[in-house]
Amino acid sequence: MTTMAPKPFFIVIYLAMLIFSLTKSKPYHPMPTYFGRFHPNGSIVDQRNPLTRLNFTGNPEGLRVTQSNAVLKVEPPVASNGGGVYITWSGVSGATDRDVIGIYCPETNKATDYLDYVWVKNYPTYKQGHGEFSVELYNLRSNCEFRYYTFRPFEELVARSNLLRFEGGPEAPLHGHLALTTTQLNATSTEMRVMWVSGANVTPVVHYSLAKGGPLMTTKGTTKTYKASDMCGEPASGSQFMDPGFIHDVLLTDLKPSSLYYYQYGTDLGMSKLKNFTTAPLPNPDVSFKFLVYGDQGISADAHNTARYSLEEMLYRNATMVIHLGDIAYAEGYAYQWEKYFALIEPYASLVPYMVGIGNHEQDHVSGGEKDPSGAPGEGFHPWFAPSLFHTDSGGECGVPMYHRFHMPDNGNHVWWYSFNYGSLHYIMMSTEHNFTRGSRQYKWIENDLRNVDRSVTPWVLIGGHRAMYTSQKYYGDYMLSLGMRHHMDDLLNKYQVDLGLWAHFHSYERTCAVYNGRCENNGTVHITVGTAGKQFDTNGFMPMDWSLKQMIEFGYGRITVYSKSALLWEFITNKDKKVADKVLLTK
């Protein structure tokens, strides 16, 4: 099978309608619990499933400790963010297979407002009234406690643990991450944006210097937050909302290009550890550098592998940036996912700029559109040529957490579309979750941005977004969307000779030839799908397309090395063996 050129458009209409009756949706992804629990068969416990909720009745015995000899203890009593703790219990009489130990943050929460729980029956000594387990915990800007409950048949509070605190307390600076800017000419090279979260609504500051122990410079910033009422719908606006704390934003200016800076961020109530970053090089057609690209990460074990290998790329291979192509934390309205995700990426997102785009699991909604901060009319983008897509994937978030937690370059539409220069590279981030059709606000912005690229300074031009413009994987609803993208965007990318299109959404890997209008052509754009950063695989196979040169269902990440104005290397590294599984050298 070969593809049909999506022009004239009636061909696309015919093909789309033909395959619509065969539409297959991407698989359902369960929502992990705060502890990331698994069923005995190894499947993920789905937080969305109401059968996983505990049935508290409000029984008075659930309000006071009923076994004076029972002891529940958490160690250490002061935990690090994302660090492990041990929970032990002893002296419990009459234990049953309905007993649970839950965590409460803050410790004053009522019984029904637990964050997560474990079944004590999962531990072999529970019938003897004792046992132990370990979990990873995250600083939610409050103290916590564990509680042992038994249900026989109504709940009784058997024991409460000692109070659990976190290093730095509620005011600790958390979730540090960096971003490039384009607020002025060559600002990418002379500025750096620093963001983090704390429980303190006080003036944020960054102290920075060109040398350890050298003269300090200090810059103050701004603080904001968001509320449940800012969301477009449930569960983000209701039971799963969690106070995000105060989000701090400091812009450092007048920095030296290609220079190492040491810095700390925080407030008068607490500062981060000393960290460092290197500013971007000045726009230069011959500068050499490397950076990472991926999408669809989340917080699974495979996502942790991607994070670990990304940090190694920064520390040992001089990677200087990450571009994340949407579907970031997969929070979908369950706010604790954001807390866990930022703890995962902070080690390297506070070392190099972490540039993000919007995905369907951050943006898509079908109600509450008046609260959508992107400015999209109505309920957002719902193209007729992809009727099976663009529904409630964000769990009511509608881009609100993304808009507040990340601050991307200000030359477009905030986190949704923007561009920046980095050395010999001009990069455009678009939103596939917003109208990209000819004449739309986003299309006009992309066209104007491409028109004004100076190829003598930035000879390499890349565009990225979440949903793939060229895909052959057998998810036919998404394939219909890709045909629509090609119809509206292919000519534009060809006219301005965009070198590389970077996409995600599919939890698999695919690389095309230099393609235009569904045909391999020397002056086409190479398209790469790399939604491989950790979310469970999309296992449907691939259709045989002439333009599709490589397909894999593997976890991993992309690495781009820009050698000069004449050579750019793309490599796909698999997490399973950390080897290059695919590569292509683009030359001019």
Q: Which of 266, 289, 270 is nearest to 278 (CA)?
A: 289
pLDDT in tens, 340-392: 999 999 999 999 999 999 999 999 999 999 999 999 999 999 999 998 899 99
CB atoms inside a 10 Å sphere around CB 568 = 23
For 185-300, where are the E strands, in sequence order? 192-198, 205-209, 217-220, 222-224, 246-252, 260-267, 270-271, 275-278, 289-294
pLDDT at 99 over 70: yes
Q: Tokens 């495979």, residue?
A: 302
pLDDT at 19 over 60: no
Plot region of 210 (φ>0 → left; ψ -120 to 50 → alpha; else → beta): alpha
Q: How far is CA 330 from the centre of its chain?
A: 7
- CA separation for the pair 328, 397 (Å, rounded): 13
What pLDDT band is residue 25 in, cutting at 50, 70 and 90? low
pLDDT at 135 over 60: yes
Query: How many percent of the chain have pLDDT more than 70?
Result: 95
- CA separation for the pair 112, 110 (Å, rounded): 6
The three-state secondary structure class of 301 is helix
What pLDDT band is residue 15 in, cutting at 50, 70 and 90? low
Specify the DSSP element, H or E, that contains 187: helix 187-190
When mean pLDDT is compared across 19-33, 39-53, 118-132, 412-426, the lowest value belongs to 19-33
pLDDT in tens, 487-513: 999 999 999 999 999 999 999 999 999
Q: What is the mean pLDDT of residues 457-482?
A: 96
Name the H helices within 432-585. Answer: 441-451, 476-495
CB within 8 Å of 577: residues ≥ 6 apart: none
The residue ranking higher by pLDDT, 535 or 182, is 535
Q: Which of 548, 500, 550, 551 is nearest to 524 (CA)?
A: 500
Q: Residue 11 has what pLDDT? A: 54
Q: How far is CA 408 from the centre of its chain?
A: 14
- CA separation for the pair 323, 219 (Å, rounded): 26
Q: Residue 150 has what pLDDT? A: 94
For 349-499, where are the E strands, in sequence order? 354-356, 418-422, 425-429, 460-464
Q: What is the mean pLDDT of residues 232-236?
A: 97
Mean pLDDT of the residues in the chain: 94
Plot region of 400 (φ>0 → left; ψ -120 to 50 → alpha; else → beta): alpha
- CA separation for the pair 93, 153 (Å, rounded): 16
- DSSP 8-state symbol, 280: P
Q: Which of 452, 404, 459 is nearest to 586 (CA)?
A: 459
What end-to-end distance do the CA atoms of the chain give, in Å?
31
- CA separation for the pair 517, 524 (Å, rounded): 9
pLDDT in tens, 184-223: 545 678 999 999 999 999 999 999 999 998 889 999 999 9
- DSSP 8-state symbol, 31: -
- CA separation for the pair 111, 149 (Å, rounded): 9
Q: Tokens 């008075």, residue?
A: 60
CB within 8 Å of 501: residues ≥ 6 apart: 462, 463, 464, 469, 470, 493, 525, 526, 527, 528
What pLDDT band is residue 62 in, cutting at 50, 70 and 90? confident
Length of the chain: 588
Burial of 28 (0-12, 13-18, 19+ CB in 10 A): exposed
- CA separation for the pair 416, 466 (Å, rounded): 11
Q: Residue 60 has what pLDDT? A: 72
- CA separation for the pair 9, 476 (Å, rounded): 18
pTM of the model: 0.94
The three-state secondary structure class of 445 is helix
- CA separation for the pair 159, 93 (Å, rounded): 11
When mean pLDDT is compared across 81-85, 119-123, 213-217, the lowest value belongs to 213-217
Q: What is the mean pLDDT of residues 275-301?
A: 96
β-pair partners for 246: 198
Q: Residue 17 has what pLDDT? A: 46
Q: Which of 350, 270, 261 is nearest to 307 (CA)?
A: 350
549 to 375, 476, 514, 529, 570: CA distances (angstroms): 38, 20, 10, 12, 14
What pLDDT band is residue 4 in, cutting at 50, 70 and 90? very low
Q: Residue 3 has what pLDDT? A: 37
CA atoms within 13 A on the CB side of 117: 20
Q: Tokens 């703790």, residue?
A: 85
Contact criterion met (CB below 8 Å) for 223 and 236: no
CB atoms inside a 10 Å sphere around CB 327 = 28
Q: What is the mean pLDDT of residues 537-559?
A: 97
- CA separation for the pair 180, 264 (Å, rounded): 18
- CA separation for the pair 273, 265 (Å, rounded): 8
pLDDT in tens, 297-349: 999 999 999 999 999 999 999 999 999 999 999 999 999 999 999 999 999 99
Encoded tokens for 141: 């800007």
pLDDT in tens, 396-440: 999 999 999 999 999 999 999 999 999 999 999 999 999 999 999
CB atoms inside a 10 Å sphere around CB 170 = 18
- CA separation for the pair 429, 199 (Å, rounded): 31
What pLDDT band is residue 183 in, cutting at 50, 70 and 90? low
Contact criterion met (CB below 8 Å) for 316 and 450: no
The three-state secondary structure class of 551 is strand
Q: Residue 24 has what pLDDT? A: 59
Q: Residue 153 has what pLDDT? A: 79
Contact criterion met (CB below 8 Å) for 527 and 558: no
pLDDT at 109 over 80: yes
Sign of the torsion formed by the C-alpha atoms of 291, 296, 298 and 301? negative
Contact criterion met (CB below 8 Å) for 245 and 401: no
Residue type at 459 in one-letter notation: P
Encoded tokens for 92: 């419990």
pLDDT at 450 over 90: yes
Contact criterion met (CB below 8 Å) for 338 and 174: no
